[in-house]
A and B are shown apart, each in its own frame.
Chain A
Amino acid sequence: MSEIRKLAVAYVSLLLLLALTVGSSFFDLGGFNSGLNLAIAVAKAVIIATLFMHLATAGTLPRLAVAAAGLWLAILFGLTLAGQWGNGS
């Protein structure tokens, strides 16, 4: 049953984070709204990946696949945004 409890805690946490992200959007946080929303989205993704997708106990190969995807996304975003802002636009 402890496994079900773990999944239930993950589920409730996801709903609370949803309430937090929607609630925060009604307040003007002076430019930090988008950053907070993205941070909450990352937190939700981590909960889903580790607990629902069992990444925490999945072993080396799945983590390698995730790390590879993260590396390529970092290159994609990094080089594009560096070009975007490096050009002074």
Chain B
Amino acid sequence: MSASTRSVAFDTPAREKAADAFGMWVFVGSEAMLFGAVMLVFFVARVSYGPAFAAASKHLSLTLGTLNTAVLITSSFTMALAHFYSDARRWRAAVGTLAATALLGIAFLAIKGTEYAMEFHEGIAPVLGAPFTFDGPDPVHAAFFFGLYFTMTALHGLHLACGIIVVAGLLALWRGADASSRKRRVQAVGLYWHFVDVVWVFLFPVLYLINR
């Protein structure tokens, strides 16, 4: 293992960094395909069953959804700070902001879990065999809305959970890593984290803000 680059495949650290970033962006692009396809299904259903989707959307908690959006935006900000601090070799600040990022991610999942519990309690969670007792108009297509809502938010939550695990792993391996490894890892996990934030930026208005 040469001192200048991590892999023998690269002549210079700059090329290695560029390859790292490109690889992450291609991965993010492939993730955009996954979420894009699910969003497209939702979009077509929303156009087809507008009134049912609007009525169903009113049963989601706008307060908790808005709070969660703010939490996730804040976590992206702390992640961007962690990237800045690791580039500046201010390691203590980098560790602090990375830990804050992971904690904010956990807070997001906790709030999301609270919402799920409320929705199961209200009987508007047509998943995992739970009873569905929606009393509005067109309950069949309302169930479709809630099915898509749980699919999209659970898929997003799964991605966020993976991000939290990777940040925790990065922190666990922090002491044994040299400066260039730290910077490259923070850059890579940062790109992923911001992408998961961007996904929520679209999910939030699409799910929570239909004709309120």
Min Cβ gap B21→A in Å is 6
Is chain A's binding surface mostly helix, strand, loop or mixed?
helix
Min Cβ gap A88→B in Å is 13
Is chain B's binding surface mostly helix, strand, loop or mixed?
helix
Contacts of B211 in A (CB 8 A): 33-34
The answer to whether A56 has its CB under 8 Å from any CB of chain B is no
A52 to B197, CA, bound (A): 11
A87 to B75, CA, bound (A): 44
Min Cβ gap B203→A in Å is 9
Q: How many residues of chain B get a CB closer than 8 Å to chain A's CBs?
A: 45
A41 to B21, CA, bound (A): 24
- A22-B62, A34-B210, A58-B21 given as contacts; is B37 within 8 A of A76 (CB)? yes
- A18-B66, A41-B201, A84-B47 given as contacts; is B209 within 8 A of A33 (CB)? yes
- A3-B84, A14-B73, A33-B209 given as contacts; is B21 within 8 A of A77 (CB)? no
Q: How many residues of chain A get a CB closer than 8 Å to chain B's CBs?
A: 43
Residue B80 contacts which of A34, A40, A52, A84 (CB distance < 8 angstroms)? A52
A26 to B209, CA, bound (A): 9
Binding site for A on B (CB under 8 A): 18, 21-22, 25-26, 28-30, 32-33, 36-37, 40, 43-44, 47-48, 62, 66, 69-70, 73-74, 76-77, 79-81, 83-84, 190-191, 194-195, 197-198, 201-202, 204-206, 209-212
